Structure 1
Amino acid sequence: MSSMFFYGTLCHRPLLGVVLGAESTCRVRPASLSNHVAHWVCNQPFPMISSSVEGDVVHGLLVQDLSPSDVARLNFYEGGFDYALGDVTVQPDAGGPLVPTQVYYPTPGLWAPGGLWDLAAWDARFGAMAVEAAKEVMDFYGQVTPEDIARRFPMIRTRASSTLRARQEPAPTALRTHYGLQDVDVQDKRTPYAQFFSMEEQVLSFRKYSGEMSDVVDRAAFVGGDAVIVLPYDPARDRVLLVEQFRMGPLVRGDQYPWTLEPIAGRIDGGEVPEESARREAIEEAGLELDRLIPLTPNYPSPGASTEFFYPFIAICDLPDDAGGIGGVESEAEDIRSHVIPFNQLMSLIATGEANCGPLVLAGWWLAANRQELRTHS
């Protein structure tokens, strides 16, 4: 049996429980590590630890009686992020002799330290998401490498945040049936494909309107993440900004022109709220600073086959003649061209079918219905 000292996110008991699994019988107690300091990793929702001057103390958890399986699961969870175990000695908070153990140190020079680590602040913003993300990570234990998990982790966090929003947001049932998750019996679940996106297949039965349960069926869904849709509008100049880029969907379908006209759009990163994502994506895709965001109705664009959920906005902003150009995040292989056009031209493009992206069509028609009020009061 071995032991480890945790100073960061694994001090969150629900997260530690998911990583270790229900069969773990390890012992957990508070302890402190002297002559070390823990910082946030700059621009990341997790910490790093480093040696420091005498007098600094890091408080955390000493986890003892770890089985080989426990250690393997912990190394799988931490390994892809270039953390490696190093020897330390900690003091249990309840007193007693010092305990030799190990702690996960980051690869030197890999991360830049930010402010001092604050577990309570992390838990308030990221704790629930981290637990949900860890469930997906540990489902892959024994199937993929830690490095594979590290590459997929941004989208895993995005999907985790999507799941939390789905649980927490209002779900009115004024017209539709009040049937809920308790009326679906999932007998088996598997993930036959998982990369940037994933596919989930479930064997299930569901309650019918007669009140009886359906036959057992096999169903699958494309698992994306929640996304923002942003149509920038300048009411003074009566202009909109569209983006154009290459898209895989039209290509795979066989469209002879797989470059599409769209609103600004992008995934809501783990830990973001939709409004933050909308402003970030506008800068990344079009170099555009947004003023007021007008939320439209959030929606499932294709609920029969996809988990994707859209948060659309009309964004009031300034669109001068030079607002267009080439944008996108180079590290994500984005090559995006912006077009600043009169509102009437947008509606002509929708009418001819050249603008055939569903979220753009819906946002365009909303703007057509509300444009005069926006021009009057903006």
Structure 2
Amino acid sequence: MTKHHDPRVRIIDRRTLSDGFVHLEEITLEQDMSDGGTVTVKREVHDHGRAATILLFDPKRRSVVFVRQLRVPVLLQGDPAYLIEAPAGLLDDDTPEVAICREALEETGYHVDAARHLFDAYMSPGSLTERTSFFVGLIDVEEKAGVGGGLAHEGEDIEVLEIPFDEAVAMIATGEICDAKTIMLLQWAQLNRGVLTA
């Protein structure tokens, strides 16, 4: 990937604050302002790496397969701790397509023959480096290739859900689905229904 340089911004210092489950850095930089001045800015940046997510869609049943799992930051906000979302995961040095097919199988038990790349997006560019590749994959929910449920050694305890597509879309308005990547995938699917049923 090409590294882009912006002459208006110069990194002066990088300091690691935490290197546990997340890598957190304090970045000090100089920024040229639009009024001609220069300011020194400090930002804390969570380096989460690249990720991928997928909408698993069964065209015969017009349903989607999602997962429900514990999300501690959501718990801290006072919301239900177990979030309904599309399968996703970090690339771990794989290509986005290879990684998302691996994650789909680990989390849901469904094998995806061909994941179609839709777009890439930064999920929270004010503080996270994470750039996510979005995919759609057609499946037959009656043909499972594995158990799913995630990896026990990674502390995953994942529930697999099949939800009718229209019901899943309605769950955005009720707040039952409040995960950004999942909402983005469902809204893409609403705009591209012909692709999914062709």
Indicate whether the TM-score tops 0.5: yes
Q: Which has the larger share of helix?
A: 1
Runs of 4+ in 1 over 3 A off after TM superposition: 321-326
Conservation of the 8 A alpha-carbon contact between 1:262 and 1:360 = yes
Counterpart of 1:264 in structure 2 is 87
Counterpart of 2:68 in structure 1 is 244
**Amino acid across the alignment from 1:226:** R
Counterpart of 2:154 in structure 1 is 332
Conservation of the 8 A alpha-carbon contact between 1:262 and 1:357 = yes
Conservation of the 8 A alpha-carbon contact between 2:67 and 2:158 = yes
Counterpart of 2:46 in structure 1 is 222
Q: Residue 335 and residue 280 in structure 1: after superposition, are their counterparts in 2 closer, same or farther (change >3 A)?
A: same
Aligned residues: CA RMSD: 2.0
Any unmatched runs of 5+ in structure 1? 1-164, 172-179
Counterpart of 2:123 in structure 1 is 301
Q: Residue 322 and residue 278 in structure 1: after superposition, are their counterparts in 2 closer, same or farther (change >3 A)?
A: closer
- Distance in 1 (CA, whole Å) between partners of 2:17 and 2:57 is 42
- Considering Cα pairs closer than 8 Å and 6+ residues apart, tell me whether 1 or 2 has the greater RCO: 2
**Amino acid across the alignment from 1:276:** V
- Distance in 2 (CA, whole Å) between partners of 1:249 and 1:209 is 36
- The answer to whether structure 1 residue 235 and structure 2 residue 59 are counterparts is yes
Query: Which moved further from structure 2: 311-320 or 181-190?
Result: 181-190
**Amino acid across the alignment from 1:278:** I
Conservation of the 8 A alpha-carbon contact between 2:67 and 2:85 = yes
Counterpart of 1:187 in structure 2 is 12
- Distance in 1 (CA, whole Å) between partners of 2:121 and 2:144 is 33
Q: How does 1:143-154 map to 2 (within 5 A)?
A: none
Deviations, residues 100-153 of structure 1 (Å, cap 9, x unaligned)? xxxxxxxxxxxxxxxxxxxxxxxxxxxxxxxxxxxxxxxxxxxxxxxxxxxxxx
Larger Rg computed on CA atoms: 1
Other structure's SS at 1:327 match = coil
Other structure's SS at 2:153 match = helix
Deviations, residues 59-102 of structure 1 (Å, cap 9, x unaligned)? xxxxxxxxxxxxxxxxxxxxxxxxxxxxxxxxxxxxxxxxxxxx
With normalisation by structure 1, the TM-score equals 0.50
Q: Which has the larger share of strand?
A: 2
- Distance in 1 (CA, whole Å) between partners of 2:98 and 2:143 is 26
- The answer to whether structure 1 residue 286 and structure 2 residue 108 are counterparts is yes
- The answer to whether structure 1 residue 253 and structure 2 residue 77 are counterparts is yes
Deviations, residues 269-312 of structure 1 (Å, cap 9, x unaligned)? 12x10000011001111111113322122010110111111111
Other structure's SS at 1:193 match = strand
- Distance in 2 (CA, whole Å) between partners of 1:328 and 1:206 is 43
Counterpart of 1:85 in structure 2 is none
**Amino acid across the alignment from 2:122:** Y
Q: Residue 182 and residue 348 in structure 1: after superposition, are their counterparts in 2 closer, same or farther (change >3 A)?
A: same
Q: How does 1:129-144 map to 2 (within 5 A)?
A: none
With normalisation by structure 2, the TM-score equals 0.92
Any unmatched runs of 5+ in structure 2? none
- Distance in 2 (CA, whole Å) between partners of 1:354 and 1:324 is 27
